[in-house]
Chain A
């Protein structure tokens, strides 16, 4: 909301400069987004002038050479191009040295040989409106209602213009929190400024209501909507309305507040809305069919044409105002074309109503129609505000439009109930804030905020004003009021006593950090992908079926689901970086996937996935073509991860739709499958326009973390030496090396501590076709002695026998 300070100062003028006021407001709860200046500068160079003569320019038909009295001893000569300039007019003059609203400085000009000592100003040059056609002609009647004290003296030449027109002002762009709709008007903010600074607050502009209660002849209103949708509806009728431009002071204030002047009646509704925070709507009563209005919920499919010329389709939850011929206005959102005030209007019905905030919000969203009115109404205005706005508008209608107020006021619903009183205990104030605020200070603050505050035994009884009815209902709310005005900067910065609570990471959180650290140590970059996934992803990954959560309102169709695998977003990352020219891409992500379940909420298992591609090391002058990452590179990363977590795992050949069928495996823990490992299928890579080899894995972290609990126990590896021997075995093709190793370790136990495969070898002549030779480094040790050759030899024999019997293999001679 824009707050022109000149307007604010009518009601409350603190002894602070603009920046200091902005800071004070920000620190008491009224956010200030920006500080601006509106209007011209060097204001003393703008004065009232009287045109004494307006003669033809000797060398330009369209220019006049004027002699203008600006209060100096001698009139000044000003060249003017406006078609409407005449001798005898009272006009606005800018003298050399003035700075125009657009920032241009003014100096003495020579127009086709004639000096011009200033300018006679048009509307846009005074920031009073967009008009540039003619000069502004001032009339002493225009001074009515300015509220500026100097204006009483009338339009004396030489008087600074700013004494009769609020020409320029600083403007604060405020950010009003949704709980404070009362601050959506100038006077509401003035109340805050009063409380925040202690500056005196002038009475509100609606205190003197020229209106009278009772029925209004010739106009009727019925509310057929439930009262919660229309808590209050007020209306007054004005006859003999003269539509015309608003006086300059009103235009100036509207412009400063960001509202374009239109005509006096419309301007009055806007002006009062900006001042009181309460929207109003003027109907041309002669265009209201039957001279009566009914407030009702719309019928399904009912349409109406709004002021912006659009045909709108309504639904049953929307509230509208209709006359005998149908809808004329969407309640609280926008008026209709049919009964709009025009230049021909002479009778006005002024409606000021209270609507249901959430209902208005829904309607405006549904119609895609947000207006100054709807943004105020949706925050829930209070019924008292309606009558306040009606009172102020009435005064201005009479003063500025020459209107005659018809007797009576339509008022359906009336004011709201008296707000509830709240006990504010001294002890709670200190207890919640951590520092006391003296009771007298609390009372002072509450009264400045227009609360009633009465002393009780252990505190105060506080009663909020009606305009705070919805916002302040509990003790904590009142504590906030006193604390924010007293100032949070007074609070000490203490730490909680904690009563023995202590902080640490859980085992799971520590293991996750270790897992991530292991992958980073392997040279992988951590990625953070989107939880959203495209419904196309399953097809691109060649997944035959997939069940995913679908969003009702996705950002786009490619983000319509929640991911069930991390692979999709990681492939995106690889593809993106390859496109940017990266040769090797090594990335991983730790994150949730979202799997539909029978419960209300889905399962969200935490996964870890990694992809490696490109050379395993950067090419250098010594190694021009390092190996490309493949299945075993990915397996190495997985081994590093599990090694860091000290988790034993197995892999077993298994096919996955998105993996190279010959280079794919399942990762298992204690017989339970926990994920996949492999090279991505070339056809899947094709979906991402990738080629070469991309290998990786994706594992569930729950089973891994479950297997990783506990600290390792000490093993004596130093007192007695180990015996190291190599052993090559020939086994039928197809026997997995892992089984050979596991058989060795099982038979060799407890003396065989390790069996590491270091060579594979195929040769039909030497070892037979369909056979493979696997060579292992074996390490034998015992914790309590140095092993003898006989002990080791016996184990070798046993291993040979087991390999023969269980796997159809044999020990190769010579090893």
Chain B
């Protein structure tokens, strides 16, 4: 068979095969078989110089045309097949779009106590207060004596204060105990820092008590502002800003006279109820949050008692020259009011079904 015939046959054979191919993978194989490095047609082309001179031009031309034609046909056929194949694949890939999604990466939750603590901290930082922290295990001196709480005060008894062994004499100022309030930090801060001071002190405190509104461990935020001219009106204004930031812009505060050994005058501070109007809820019932009084008690406060300043007088706190206010609020109480938590103990159960609500 002449070389020219062979080219013609190859071209026909290849074009028939391409014409029959019905997958792009098959075309790839045909491309290799007819046009690849080891295929016959390109070989023929490469060896055209070995042919007799009179055949060279015709065979070379025919082989070249055959190669181009086969390549073009493969391309054309491939384009057609690729489109069909993609359609088929997309049809296969079809899903039920109503199936559940991949779960998003789980995000954890801040404990309600620390969320509330942060919220309180942020309000007071904005009002110009620094945040201090201090020891939870304290001496009777800082917890009681220096706060003008007499040795005879009932809160010192073992029914009201946890003592750390040996505690041979619970009335000794050096006796070690668990602080019953964050107020010892009033003294520690004043010992460390001369006036003016504007601080809050969040932290754990302890009292032997357990029911729906008491746990033996809870959290308070102490506030202390001492300067030459801090007044009771400033306390009212500061706590008004606090109440509005935490409970809403419409809130008002009310000071009621009270008694604490380390403040004089002493006040209880109420915030107007955010759950009702004049003790009646939107649905016309007596408000359960404020018991129909339209006021919620949120904290105790007052002007720092001159006797307290006497304990830190040598640190720059002469009661004739400086004055200030102090307050102490329960973080749990604020959280329970704000989020409607009915039982304090829920905050310490650490049940994730509780934790993940907030």
Query: Which residues of A pack against B, CB within 8 Å?
Result: 26-29, 31, 177-180, 357-358, 361-362, 365, 378, 431-435, 474, 476-477, 479-480, 483-484, 488-489, 491-499, 501-506, 509, 513, 516, 519-532, 549-555, 559, 562, 572-573, 576-577, 580, 582, 585-588, 590-592, 594, 600-602, 604, 617-618, 620-622
CA distance A495 to B257 in the complex (A): 20
Does B108 lie within 8 Å of A491, measured CB to CB? no
Query: Which B140-177 residues have C-beta < 8 A from chain A?
Result: 150-152, 154, 157-159, 162-167, 170, 174, 176
Which of B6-14, B22-30, B349-357 contacts the other chain? B349-357
B136 to chain A: closest CB distance in Å?
6
Does B231 lie within 8 Å of A433, measured CB to CB? yes
8 extra interchain contacts, Cβ-Cβ under 8 A, other than A502-B128, A604-B135? A476-B264, A480-B266, A483-B232, A496-B225, A506-B131, A516-B110, A530-B348, A551-B165
With A476-B306, A479-B265 as known contacts, state yes or no: A177 contacts B258, CB within 8 Å.
yes
Decide if B247 is an interface residue (CB 8 Å cutoff): no
In the complex, chain A residues whose CB is within 8 Å of the CB of B228: 499
A564 to chain B: closest CB distance in Å?
13
A349 to chain B: closest CB distance in Å?
30
Does B111 lie within 8 Å of A528, measured CB to CB? yes
Does A29 lie within 8 Å of B258, measured CB to CB? yes
Query: Which B161-215 residues have C-beta < 8 A from chain A?
Result: 162-167, 170, 174, 176, 178, 196-198, 204, 206, 208, 210
Does A552 lie within 8 Å of B217, measured CB to CB? no
Does B165 lie within 8 Å of A550, measured CB to CB? yes
In the complex, chain A residues whose CB is within 8 Å of the CB of B127: 495, 503
Does A600 lie within 8 Å of B111, measured CB to CB? no
In the complex, chain A residues whose CB is within 8 Å of the CB of B349: 576
CA distance A483 to B232 in the complex (A): 10
Decide if B236 is an interface residue (CB 8 Å cutoff): yes
Decide if B18 is an interface residue (CB 8 Å cutoff): no
CA distance A618 to B174 in the complex (A): 53
In the complex, chain A residues whose CB is within 8 Å of the CB of B241: 495
Does A361 lie within 8 Å of B350, measured CB to CB? no
B8 to chain A: closest CB distance in Å?
49
A176 to chain B: closest CB distance in Å?
10
Instruction: Kindly report which residue of chain B lies nearest to residue A180, judged by CB atoms.
Output: B259
Does A576 lie within 8 Å of B351, measured CB to CB? yes
- The residue in A178, A553, A586, A587 that gathers the most chain B C-beta atoms within 10 A of its C-beta is A553
29 sample A-B contacts, Cβ–Cβ < 8 Å, listed by A number: A27-B257, A29-B258, A357-B152, A358-B150, A480-B264, A480-B265, A488-B236, A488-B254, A491-B236, A491-B255, A498-B128, A503-B124, A503-B131, A505-B125, A520-B110, A523-B108, A525-B356, A528-B111, A529-B348, A531-B178, A531-B206, A551-B162, A552-B162, A555-B216, A576-B350, A591-B204, A602-B137, A604-B135, A618-B103
With A488-B236, A501-B128, A551-B162 as known contacts, state yes or no: A585 contacts B257, CB within 8 Å.
no
Instruction: Give a binary string over B228-255; 1 marks a CB under 8 Å from any A CB, 0 the rest.
Output: 1111111011101100000000000111
Instruction: Kindly report which residue of chain B lies nearest to residue A570, judged by CB atoms.
Output: B350
Does A532 lie within 8 Å of B303, measured CB to CB? no
In the complex, chain A residues whose CB is within 8 Å of the CB of B305: 476
In the complex, chain A residues whose CB is within 8 Å of the CB of B167: 552
Does B306 lie within 8 Å of A526, measured CB to CB? no
In the complex, chain B residues whose CB is within 8 Å of the CB of A527: 111, 350, 355
With A474-B306, A480-B257, A480-B265 as known contacts, state yes or no: A498 contacts B231, CB within 8 Å.
no
CA distance A590 to B128 in the complex (A): 26
Q: Which of B121, B206, B259 contacts A179 (CB 8 A)?
A: B259
Instruction: Kindly report which residue of chain B lies nearest to residue A29, judged by CB atoms.
Output: B257
B98 to chain A: closest CB distance in Å?
12
Tally of contacts, chain A with chain B, CB under 8 A: 258
Q: Which of A509, A519, A585 contacts B131 (CB 8 A)?
A: A509
In the complex, chain A residues whose CB is within 8 Å of the CB of B52: none
Q: Which are the 3 A-B pairs with shortest beta-carbon distances?
A: A434-B233, A434-B231, A358-B152
Does B259 lie within 8 Å of A484, measured CB to CB? no
Instruction: Kindly report which residue of chain B lies nearest to residue A585, judged by CB atoms.
Output: B352
CA distance A549 to B110 in the complex (A): 29
Instruction: Kindly report which residue of chain B lies nearest to residue A594, judged by CB atoms.
Output: B137
In the complex, chain B residues whose CB is within 8 Å of the CB of A504: 125, 130
In the complex, chain B residues whose CB is within 8 Å of the CB of A516: 110, 114
Does B306 lie within 8 Å of A523, measured CB to CB? no
CA distance A549 to B164 in the complex (A): 7
In the complex, chain B residues whose CB is within 8 Å of the CB of A495: 127, 234, 237-238, 241
Query: Which residues of B pack against A, CB within 8 Å?
Result: 99-100, 102-103, 105-111, 113-114, 118, 121, 124-131, 135-139, 150-152, 154, 157-159, 162-167, 170, 174, 176, 178, 196-198, 204, 206, 208, 210, 216-217, 225, 227-234, 236-238, 240-241, 253-259, 264-268, 303, 305-306, 323, 347-353, 355-356
Instruction: Kindly report which residue of chain A lies nearest to residue B332, judged by CB atoms.
Output: A528
Does A604 lie within 8 Å of B136, measured CB to CB? yes
In the complex, chain A residues whose CB is within 8 Å of the CB of B163: 551-553
In the complex, chain A residues whose CB is within 8 Å of the CB of B165: 549-552
With A435-B233, A528-B114 as known contacts, state yes or no: A505 contacts B108, CB within 8 Å.
no
In the complex, chain A residues whose CB is within 8 Å of the CB of B253: 493
In the complex, chain B residues whose CB is within 8 Å of the CB of A525: 108-109, 111, 352, 355-356
A727 to chain B: closest CB distance in Å?
31
In the complex, chain A residues whose CB is within 8 Å of the CB of B110: 516, 520, 526
Does A555 lie within 8 Å of B306, measured CB to CB? no
Q: Which of A378, A519, A577 contacts B352 (CB 8 A)?
A: A577
Does B257 lie within 8 Å of A484, measured CB to CB? yes
CA distance A525 to B111 in the complex (A): 7
In the complex, chain B residues whose CB is within 8 Å of the CB of A26: 256
With A493-B233, A503-B124, A621-B99 as known contacts, state yes or no: A553 contacts B259, CB within 8 Å.
no
In the complex, chain A residues whose CB is within 8 Å of the CB of B162: 551-554
In the complex, chain B residues whose CB is within 8 Å of the CB of A520: 107-110
Instruction: Kindly report which residue of chain B lies nearest to residue A553, judged by CB atoms.
Output: B158
Q: Which of A178, A494, A577 contacts B231 (CB 8 A)?
A: A494
In the complex, chain B residues whose CB is within 8 Å of the CB of A492: 233, 236-237
Q: Which of A488, A519, A587 contacts B255 (CB 8 A)?
A: A488
CA distance A378 to B155 in the complex (A): 13
Q: Which of B111, B174, B231, B240 contacts A431 (CB 8 A)?
A: B231
Does A582 lie within 8 Å of B259, measured CB to CB? no
In the complex, chain A residues whose CB is within 8 Å of the CB of B232: 432-434, 483, 488, 491
In the complex, chain B residues whose CB is within 8 Å of the CB of A378: 154
CA distance A624 to B158 in the complex (A): 56
In the complex, chain B residues whose CB is within 8 Å of the CB of A177: 258-259
CA distance A505 to B200 in the complex (A): 11
CA distance A101 to B105 in the complex (A): 64
In the complex, chain A residues whose CB is within 8 Å of the CB of B238: 495-496
B100 to chain A: closest CB distance in Å?
7
Instruction: Kindly report which residue of chain B lies nearest to residue A179, judged by CB atoms.
Output: B259
With A499-B227, A532-B216, A594-B137 as known contacts, state yes or no: A484 contacts B210, CB within 8 Å.
no
CA distance A497 to B351 in the complex (A): 45
CA distance A496 to B224 in the complex (A): 12
Q: Which of B111, B198, B257 contacts A496 (CB 8 A)?
A: B198
CA distance A28 to B236 in the complex (A): 16
In the complex, chain B residues whose CB is within 8 Å of the CB of A590: 114
In the complex, chain A residues whose CB is within 8 Å of the CB of B230: 496
CA distance A532 to B174 in the complex (A): 22
In the complex, chain B residues whose CB is within 8 Å of the CB of A591: 204
B35 to chain A: closest CB distance in Å?
33
A478 to chain B: closest CB distance in Å?
10
Q: Which of A435, A524, A601 contacts B137 (CB 8 A)?
A: A601
In the complex, chain B residues whose CB is within 8 Å of the CB of A476: 264-265, 303, 305-306
CA distance A464 to B254 in the complex (A): 28
In the complex, chain A residues whose CB is within 8 Å of the CB of B176: 600-601
CA distance A608 to B103 in the complex (A): 28
CA distance A532 to B204 in the complex (A): 12
- The residue in B197, B237, B240, B253 that gathers the most chain A C-beta atoms within 10 A of its C-beta is B237
In the complex, chain A residues whose CB is within 8 Å of the CB of B210: 555
Does B158 lie within 8 Å of A524, measured CB to CB? no
